[in-house]
Amino acid sequence: MTTQEQTVSAFDPVSASPGARLAVGRLLAACHAFAVPDDPPLLPERAAVNLTHVTPDEAAAHFVVWDGEEARAWGSLEYSLTQNRHAAHARLQVHPDHRRRGLGRALARALEAAAREQGRRVVTFATTSRVPAGEAFALALGAEAALPMRQSRLDLRAVPDTLLEGWTTRPEGEPYRLHLWERVPDAFLSRMADMMMVMNTAPRGALEVDDWTVTPEMIRAWEEMNTEAGEVRLLMSVEDTRSGALAGYTEVFWIPERASLVSQGATAVRPEARGQGLGKWLKAAMLRHIQTHCPGARWVRTNNANENAAMLGINVALGFRPWASLTEWQVRLN
């Protein structure tokens, strides 16, 4: 590539042509295949659609390095317009065949400039041990490793049914009731938003971010984005029938076109409801549902902060095994 071809260009996925979006989608698919070659392939068309998704009250700035009509590198900066207005989250990908040519550094400079323009003082981003060069790049940027995490994987064929049976057997006459939704019913929408904010109690390490507020509008937007991306989001919640409040939830994401892999999302139980086995119940009930309603599913993958001993304990007991290390980094902008 010539110096001119290494120019970083602003990119608007919404107004861009379908061909330009697909070019970035192909780049992301190539990067994914390089990092995790044993995974089901990332679909460029789906990745292109995901580029257009922005949560309500959030914005994103995208940048691309083009080589003719081919995307060689891409980066994005996502930030809230109403919350954590000091922070932004960055993502950066360089095509495996075009690394070590300064493209990542050029994109990093563009992302930093965008963050400064928006008045952001902290930029976070993640790296995985599946791509060791990411950690070296983070250190070269002067980033701080703020939250070490373990990425674990579960072989669904190896989960003992006796364990799932034990964890899903509940005391007679207890006040808790289990719900399963792909779309949260209107009657539970506000309660679900309040329940999701319990994730603010999850470990953050040294990340300099404040609590997040979840709104019903966000939940509806996430559901619509999942549908547009061809992704099934399964959400289980536990309702306390004495008050109608939700005491816990867990969610997973599954794409039938990439059927073998299920991604575990958040799992949370209200502090005052802990110690009653609700987390185990939710996790075991969800695994049983996946086994019977997600044809072709073989693996479940999840991320946990290394300091989150309670959730790691549940996952290890289910049979999750370490698969990779993730790190959430942060860069402070002076």
Going along 87-164, which residue ranges are E strands? Answer: 87-94, 122-128, 144-155
Helix (H, G, I), strand (E, B) or coil at 108: helix
Per-residue pLDDT of the chain (334 residues; tens, 9 = 90+): 444 447 999 999 999 999 999 999 999 999 999 999 999 999 999 999 999 999 989 999 999 999 999 999 999 999 999 999 999 999 999 999 999 999 999 999 999 999 999 999 999 999 999 999 999 999 999 999 999 999 999 999 999 999 999 999 999 999 999 999 999 999 999 999 999 999 999 999 999 999 999 999 999 999 999 999 999 999 999 999 999 999 999 999 999 999 999 999 999 999 999 999 999 999 999 999 999 999 999 999 999 999 999 999 999 999 999 999 999 999 999 8
Distance CA 157, CA 291 (A): 9
Q: How far is CA 28 from CA 5, 42, 50, in A?
A: 19, 8, 11
Residue type, 256: P
Domain 152-325 belongs in CATH node 3.40.630.30: yes
Treating both helix axes as pointing N-terminal to C-terminal, what angle do 278-293 and 309-318 enclose, rounded to 10 degrees? Answer: 40
Residues of the chain with CATH 3.40.630.30: 4-120, 152-325
Which pLDDT score, from 0 to 100, does residue 334 have? 82
Q: How far is CA 250 from CA 67, 69, 130, 165, 180, in A?
A: 43, 41, 26, 18, 10
223 close to 184: Cβ distance less than 8 angstroms? yes
Extract the tokens encoding 326. Answer: 């993730």
Which pLDDT score, from 0 to 100, does residue 107 have? 98
Distance CA 168, CA 172 (A): 12
The closest of 99, 89, 79, 77 to 27, measured between CA atoms, is 99
Residue type, 71: A
Fill in the DSSP letter of residue 98. Answer: G
Distance of CA 152 to the CA centre of its chain: 14
Single pTM value for the model: 0.95
Classify domain 4-120 by CATH number: 3.40.630.30
The closest of 12, 15, 25 to 70, measured between CA atoms, is 25
180 close to 236: Cβ distance less than 8 angstroms? yes
Neighbours of 182 (CB within 10 A): 11
